[in-house]
Amino acid sequence: NAGVTQTPKFQVLKTGQSMTLQCAQDMNHEYMSWYRQDPGMGLRLIHYSVGAGITDQGEVPNGYNVSRSTTEDFPLRLLSAAPSQTSVYFCASSSDRDTLYEQYFGPGTRLTVT
């Protein structure tokens, strides 16, 4: 298993540009989520999904959209990038078949908005 993969690893955007961060998992996990981590801070939940076709907002959803058309993929869209969205973004997945929702994290995408 590749686990949770994220692309790209690094990205630089100009203010106002849009882009999609990709996340995929090959463990057939129902639950997927997106977090952002600002320098020296813990992770904050952006959006999450409990299955294909079902998404919900986390702590900091503004400026981001998600969709879940398949079990494997959970892309995060930045609609109009702002410098405040400069951060490292982590995708995670988990399954209720495993030990009480243990989450597996991807390697992260480092995004800089200028």
User: Which residues of the shown chain bind other proteins in the complex (CB under 8 A)?
Assistant: 4, 31, 33, 35, 40-45, 48, 50, 58-59, 90, 92, 99-108
Tokens 């203010």 belong to which residue?
15
The two three-digit tokens of residue 82, written as one number:
């702002």
Shortest Å, Cβ 17 to other proteins = 25
Shortest Å, Cβ 87 to other proteins = 13
Using the minimum distance from each CB to other proteins, give the nearer residue, 17 or 37.
37
Using the minimum distance from each CB to other proteins, give the nearer residue, 67 or 103.
103
Instruction: Measure the CA angle with vertex 30, ends 66 and 34; round to 5°.
Output: 35
Shortest Å, Cβ 47 to other proteins = 11
* DSSP, res 88: E
CB atoms within 10 A of CB 51: 12
List beta partners, residue 37.
43, 88
